[in-house]
Amino acid sequence: QVQLVESGGGLVQAGGSLRLSCAASGIIFSINVMGWYRQAPGKPRELVAALTSGGSTNYADSVKGRFTISRDNAKNTVYLQMNSLKPEDTASYYCRIVTSGGYYWGQGTQVTVSS
């Protein structure tokens, strides 16, 4: 059974940093894309950053230059380093992994940025 365990969320002041982690287990298919999404109250879920197996990245315009996605293949773990956080970054953050056998979501971790 595939399981994605996220960690690293919390409360931080504006301008601060957090690093989110998402560890995947039970994956038997090759991983094609690992990504992070976020959803603020009353808003749709949106892509924050994605990283393909080939190393290509894609970032939302709102986080470019501030967030960095990376992965540890040996640990099947994807990270999101978030710097210069803003109050508008407040949301629940979800990791998503796309494999050749389907896609999977994490349970979400809350990030709250105070002004």
Residues 6+ apart with CB under 8 A from 13: 113, 114
> What's the pLDDT band for 27 if we cut at 50, 70, 90?
confident
Give per-residue pLDDT as tens, 36-80. 999 999 999 999 999 999 999 999 999 999 999 999 988 999 999
